[in-house]
Structure 1
C-alpha cells in the first residue's frame, strides 16, 4: 500500500488517525488517476479536527484584528508567489484551462478576496456597531467562538476552495477557526493551498489550530460532523441533494447552514432586443452557456424567447452554434452523469432537442453542448423543467408575448440571477419593468442586458438568492464585508461598564470605525457627539 499524504489536524501535518481508505485525483481528460494518494478520513480524524478547532476558538476570537488582517494579506501574497505551481496542479486535476481561466482569472480572484477580507478585518466594518446612549444598550457582530465547517465545491479550485475561497476568508476574518473539507476532485491543489495557509498562520502568530484540513469523508461521517452542536456554522457549495442532507443534520443540532445549491439563472429576451441584435445575442448566450464547459453556478440554464420572426431567428442561430460546438471535458464522471440525468429529465417532461447533443466520443469525461426547447405552458406546468442540468446545456422556453413571459417568471423557483434584455429604444421599457417586478422576489441578482456568468468580487455583490438557489435569501457567499456576517453572532451589552466592552462599542472610536449612534452613522467618539467624557 502506498504512503498517504498527511491531514492537517491539531495544528500540524500528521498521518490520518484512522483512514477508511485512499483515493487519488483523476485527470478528467483521460479518466486516469494522477498524483499522490490521499486518505479518506475516518471518525477519529473528524472528531480530532473538531476538538482541535474548538480548542482554538476562544484564542482566535481574542486576536487583534490587525493580526487577522496580516495573516490574510500574507496568505494572498503567498498564493500569488506560488501561482505557477498552483495553476499546474489545478489544471491537472480539473482540466480547466491554465490560461486565462486559472492563472489570470481565478487565482487573482482568490488572492483579491483574501485581501478584501483583510481590509474588512482591519477596519472592523463587518461588526456594524450600534449604540443607544439613552437606553444604555450597545450591540455589534462578533466571532461565533465556535468552528466553521466548510465543504468546498469542485468547480472553483481556488476562488471557492474550502481552504482559500470566500467562505474561508469570511470565517477567518470573523475570527472563527475553520474545518476545511476540501473537494476530492482537487486534493493536490487544496493541499498546496493549505500548506501556504498554515505557514502564514504561524508567521502571523495566530493559533496553529485555527485551520484543520480533511480531504475526503464517507457521506455518513460528513453528516455526523455537520450535526455536531459544537460547530458555529456550516458552509456548503454543491448539489441540492447533498446540501439539503447536510442542512437537515445541522438543523437538528441548531447549527446555522449557509448553502449554495441550485440555479437555472433565467434570461428573458424582449422583442426589441432581438430585432436590434438577435445574432449577437445568440453568440452571447452560447458563449455564456459553454464557458468553462458550463460548470458555473450562474450558467444560463433557461432562456425565454418570444415567438415570431426575431425569436425564431435567435433560436436558429443559437442552435447552429450548439450543433457546431466541439466537445469539452467535465470535472468528473459524477458531474457528467448528473448533466445527463438533468437533460433526460427535461426530455421526459416534453423538451425537444434543438441543437447539439450531450453525447460525445473520446476518452475522459467528454460532453457536447446541448440546447433543448419547450413551450411556456409545459414549463409552467412541470417542475422537472426547472431542474439544474449542471453543464453546457440550456432550455429555450418559447412564449407568446409578455403575458406568457410573466407567467414563466411567476412560476420560477428561487435563483441566483435573473436577466432581462431589452431594446435600445423605449418600446421594451414597460415590459422590462413588469418582468423585473416579477423576477425581483425570485432572484438574488437582477441583471440588465448582460449574461449572468460573471460574479464580481465586490462589496455590493449578492451571490445568493431565494431557495433553492441557496438556503437563505438574506446572505451572500461573495463580497466583503457582507459575506463575513454569515459567521458572526449579534452580541448586545446592557449598561455594561466601559472597560468590559469590546473596543468597537466603547465611547472612544477605535480608529475611525463607522458606528450607528443614537440614530445616525458617525465616525465621532461619543464624547464629541454628546458632550460627555471618553473612557
Structure 2
C-alpha cells in the first residue's frame, strides 16, 4: 500500500476566508523523528554562551530588517493590523535582546558554592551547584500572537537562551509568517556560527502530538485552548519518562469593582473596561471576562458608560472562521440563560466579522452551581460578563467558585487604596490565590516584558507555576546539578574557585558579583 500523501498547509485570509497560498505540508511521524534527532545532535553547539547571545541578538536584528515582509504576512494571515503587529514585533525583538543580556550576565545559572566545612554538624562536603539546559524543547505557537508567542517568541527565546535546541509546531493560522520567522532565525544562527538545526519548524496537528511524545523532547511550552493544551499536557505526563509541560490554557481574568470605587469614578471605570475587553477584538489572553460590579445607581452609571463605549466599537475580524463561529455560538448560548441581559448584543457583525458586546447578570446567579456556570468559562472574543452584586457576601461567593487565572483586577476608591487594614486589603487577599498577576486600579490587557513579570497562574490558566514572560521564563528549561567533592580539574569552568568566567555567584553564603556588577556599598 502506498504511503498517505501529507496534507497541504495553506495560508488563509481571515478577512475573506479564502486560501492565499500553499506554504508547506504537514510533517509525518518519520519527519518529526528526524527533526527532533537532528536538534538533539546539535545541542552542544549552544554551550558557548557568547555565541548563544550573539545568535539571539542577530535574530532580533534580522527580524527588524525583515519587518516589512513579516508584518505584511502576519496581517494577511491574522487581520490584527499593521499597528498592532508593529508593536508586537518590537516586543519580540526586545525579548530576544533581553535574553541575550541575561545569557551574558550569567545570573540565571544560579551558581552556589559551599566549601567543605568540618565544623558543621554533620560535616559538609565540598558542594557546587549550577543549572544546566534540559535538552530539546517543543514550542507550540499561539494563534493570537503570531510573533511574540510563536516562532521567535518568548518560549523560543528563553529556551535558546537556556541552551536548549527548539522545535516549534507552527500554528495553522499563520504558517507563512512562521516560515518567514524561522528563516530569519536560521540566518541568525549562521551569522553566529551555529548550525541551523538549533531551531526548527514543523506543521500539522498530528505533528504536535508526535512532538510531545518524542523521547528526546525534554520539555514543552504551549499557549492555546484548554482542550488542546490539556490533551498535550496529558500526553506529556503519560510518557514512559514524563516531561515538564508549561501550558497556558485559558483565563477569565476577573475584575472586582467596589461600591466606593463606583461612587468615585464609575464613568472612568466603564470607559477603561470597554477599551480593555475589546482590545485586539477581545483576543488577548488577559482580557477581563468577568466583572463584579455593584447593583444600584452607581453600578448603573458604570453600565451606561460601558454601553456607550462598546456600542461605538466597529465590527472586527477574528483570527479564523472557526473562532468566529465559536464566538457567535458561545455568546448566543450565554445570552439565552435566564436573567441574562445584553445591553449591547455581542455576535456576528457580518459574514467575516463579529460585533463587540457585553452581558449583565445578577451575581447571585453565579454564586451557586447551575447552568449559569457557563458564564464562568472564557469566551474568546470581544465580550465580557458584568455580574451585579447586592452585597459583599455575593462577591466572596462568586470569587470562591472561580478557577485559576492569569490576572485578577481590583478597582478601589482612593480611600480604600490607602487603607492597609480596610476592604481593599481584604479583597486583595481574596484575589491573590486566584491569579499570577494582581492589579489595582488598572487593566490587565498588556503584559510588560519586565524582570518582575509573572504571566502564569493557577490551573487552568497555566499547568505550572512558571512565567512565560520576563527574565525568569528561562528557568523552565533548566535543571540544577550539584557536584560533590569533585576535583577541580573535572569541574565545569563556571564552578572553579577562581571564577574564570566572571559570573555572579554565592560562595559560602556571600554573594560575589560578576565583573560588570557593582558590589553594594556598605551603609
TM over 0.5: yes
Partner of 2:426: 434
Partner of 2:137: 148
Cα distance in 2 for residues equivalent to 1:306 and 1:77:
50
Q: Summarize the Cα distance change of 1:512–1:360 in structure 2 as closer, same or farther, 3 Å threshold.
A: same
Partner of 2:7: 21
Structure 2 unaligned spans of 5+ = 117-123
426-435 vs 105-114, which moves further: 426-435
Partner of 1:332: 320
Partner of 2:53: 69
Residues 113-512 of structure 1: matches in 2 within 5 Å?
Answer: 113-134=95-116, 135=124, 136-144=126-134, 146-161=135-150, 163-218=151-206, 221-253=207-239, 254-347=242-335, 350=338, 352-364=340-352, 366-382=353-369, 383-426=373-416, 429=419, 430-473=422-465, 475-480=466-471, 482-512=472-502
Task: Report the alpha carbon displacement of residue 431 of structure 1 after superposing the two structures with TM.
Answer: 1.4
Please tell me whether the aligned partners of residues 349 and 355 of structure 2 are also in contact (alpha carbons under 8 angstroms): no
Cα distance in 1 for residues equivalent to 2:334 and 2:96:
39
Task: Report the alpha carbon displacement of residue 43 of structure 1 after superposing the two structures with TM.
Answer: 1.6
Please tell me whether the aligned partners of residues 96 and 292 of structure 1 are also in contact (alpha carbons under 8 angstroms): yes
Deviations 1:421-459 (A, max 9, x none): 111234884111111101111100010110100100001
Partner of 1:102: 85
Q: Secondary structure at the match of 2:132?
A: strand
Cα distance in 1 for residues equivalent to 2:416 and 2:235:
51
Task: Report the alpha carbon displacement of residue 226 of structure 1 after superposing the two structures with TM.
Answer: 1.0
Deviations 1:217-242 (A, max 9, x none): 33xx4223212232110111000000
Task: Report the alpha carbon displacement of residue 351 of structure 1 after superposing the two structures with TM.
Answer: 5.9
TM-score, scaled relative to structure 2: 0.91
Cα distance in 1 for residues equivalent to 2:163 and 2:357:
45
Task: Report the alpha carbon displacement of residue 182 of structure 1 after superposing the two structures with TM.
Answer: 1.1
Please tell me whether the aligned partners of residues 444 and 463 of structure 1 are also in contact (alpha carbons under 8 angstroms): yes
Partner of 2:66: 82
Task: Report the alpha carbon displacement of residue 297 of structure 1 after superposing the two structures with TM.
Answer: 0.3
Cα distance in 2 for residues equivalent to 1:356 and 1:379:
21
234-243 vs 425-434, which moves further: 425-434
Cα distance in 2 for residues equivalent to 1:417 and 1:440:
9
Please tell me whether the aligned partners of residues 130 and 515 of structure 1 are also in contact (alpha carbons under 8 angstroms): yes
Partner of 1:60: 45
Task: Report the alpha carbon displacement of residue 345 of structure 1 after superposing the two structures with TM.
Answer: 4.9
Q: Secondary structure at the match of 2:149?
A: coil
Task: Report the alpha carbon displacement of residue 18 of structure 1 after superposing the two structures with TM.
Answer: 7.6
Cα distance in 2 for residues equivalent to 1:18 and 1:484:
39
Partner of 1:31: 17
Cα distance in 2 for residues equivalent to 1:125 and 1:18:
49
Cα distance in 1 for residues equivalent to 2:8 and 2:277:
35
Q: Summarize the Cα distance change of 1:524–1:262 in structure 2 as closer, same or farther, 3 Å threshold.
A: closer
Deviations 1:117-136 (A, max 9, x none): 10111112211111221331
Please tell me whether the aligned partners of residues 319 and 356 of structure 1 are also in contact (alpha carbons under 8 angstroms): yes
Cα distance in 1 for residues equivalent to 2:45 and 2:321:
40
Deviations 1:104-147 (A, max 9, x none): x1110000000011011111221111122133111111111x21
Cα distance in 2 for residues equivalent to 1:64 and 1:33:
43
Please tell me whether the aligned partners of residues 360 and 386 of structure 2 are also in contact (alpha carbons under 8 angstroms): yes
Please tell me whether the aligned partners of residues 416 and 423 of structure 2 are also in contact (alpha carbons under 8 angstroms): no
Cα distance in 1 for residues equivalent to 2:375 and 2:5:
41
Q: Secondary structure at the match of 1:418?
A: strand
Cα distance in 1 for residues equivalent to 2:457 and 2:510:
29
Task: Report the alpha carbon displacement of residue 341 of structure 1 after superposing the two structures with TM.
Answer: 4.2
Cα distance in 2 for residues equivalent to 1:269 and 1:259:
30
Q: Summarize the Cα distance change of 1:385–1:426 in structure 2 as closer, same or farther, 3 Å threshold.
A: closer
Please tell me whether the aligned partners of residues 260 and 471 of structure 1 are also in contact (alpha carbons under 8 angstroms): yes
Partner of 1:3: none
Cα distance in 2 for residues equivalent to 1:471 and 1:400:
35
Please tell me whether the aligned partners of residues 420 and 436 of structure 1 are also in contact (alpha carbons under 8 angstroms): yes
Please tell me whether the aligned partners of residues 23 and 176 of structure 2 are also in contact (alpha carbons under 8 angstroms): no
Residues 31-50 of structure 1: matches in 2 within 5 Å?
Answer: 31-50=17-36
TM-score, scaled relative to structure 1: 0.89
Cα distance in 2 for residues equivalent to 1:177 and 1:350:
52
Deviations 1:39-86 (A, max 9, x none): 1222222121112112122x235x210100000001101111111111
448-457 vs 494-503, which moves further: 494-503
